[in-house]
Amino acid sequence: MGIINEARKVEKEIREAVPNLPPIKFRVTRSRRVYGLCYWWKNEISISRPILERHPETLKGTVAHEIAHLIQYEINPLDTEAHGVLFRDICKMISPLVGVSTHDLVWRY
């Protein structure tokens, strides 16, 4: 299956617990430096094809990590601490939904 289809599966798992999540646009990039990026002002998440082709086991965590940033912005748009307390609390909430450890969601991706 394609990267975007797999990302949609992760989104669906999280959306069941966070139904007011805004619609998300996924975009696949050729970045070789970052797994993914969240563009919260556009509700868009980019995912690196080259990295995920080499490390497909990281897709769930990458998508969940970036969705956590979207949720963070929805809760508090003025919170500028990218991996601060609010972000870590959100990761604790969604990590069991996608089967990825909280530590990996916060620090690995």
33-59 core/surface letters (b: 16 or more CB in 10 A; e: else): eebbbbebeeeebbbbeebbeeeeebb
**What integer pLDDT is reported at residue 68 of this predicted model?**
95
The whole-chain average pLDDT of the chain stands at: 92
CATH architecture of structural domain 3-108: 2-Layer Sandwich (3.30)
Q: Give the model's confidence band at 86: pLDDT under 50 very low, under 70 low, under 90 confident, else very high.
A: very high
Q: What is the mean pLDDT of residues 30-59?
A: 94
DSSP string, 26-90: EEEE--SS-SEEEEGGGTEEEEEHHHHHH-GGGHHHHHHHHHHHHHHHHH-TT---TTSHHHHHH
**Domain ranges, ordered by start, for the chain:** 3-108
